[in-house]
Amino acid sequence: MADCALPDNLKGRRHEDWPWPASRIKRGWNAYGPRCIGDQCPICHGKSRISWPPTFIVGKGVSRWEETGPGHSVLHIKKLDGITVVAEEVYGHIWDGIEMNPGLPNFGKVVRVKLYSTTGYSPSAIQEFSPRGWMKLDPKFYAEWYRLGKNHTYYHRTGFRPDHEDTYYNKTIVGYWGLSFE
């Protein structure tokens, strides 16, 4: 159990959003992240914690990048739509992105950002802007997606899925396949 990885409002709770009988599983059972210190994290492989934010390694069409925390920025970097890039081609460079979070005052406007592997923006687990793609992140995470029309996306994900809203990872025990509805 890694309740230490969860934000306070989720500690000790169960996965009520999962179908029965999985809804009886505690949220901390598959949660890992930077809030855990030392031996609190059972699968951190000797590290004091799993790092945050997740680091981009390689991918195709990885054009949705997020900041961490409530009310966070979500950018669509159109130049990354449909192309394959490695970390060195992304990090340390300045990118123009369109703010896609309607709750922010600069919604729909171009935002210029410099991407770093250790702070700021990181790739979103929900890559809905590019019609088709894949990515590898560290901690170990792999995802591929395919848009099925305007409002549906098919996903296949394995590994540590980042949750940018609450700053922790959900470990996928068995690969996740499914549809996302916007």
Give the three-class secondary structure for 72. Answer: coil
Model pTM?
A: 0.79
* Span 163-181, pLDDT tens digits: 887 787 877 765 565 555 4
Asked if 180 and 128 count as a contact pair (C-beta separation under 8 A), the reply is yes
C-alpha to C-alpha distance for 167 and 163, rounded to whole angstroms: 6
pLDDT reported for residue 174: 59
The model's pLDDT over 56-110, given as tens digits with 9 standing for 90+, comes to 999 999 999 999 877 789 999 999 999 999 999 999 999 999 999 999 999 999 9
CA distance 78 to 145: 17
d(CA 147, CA 150): 7
d(CA 90, CA 17): 35
Count, residues in the chain = 182
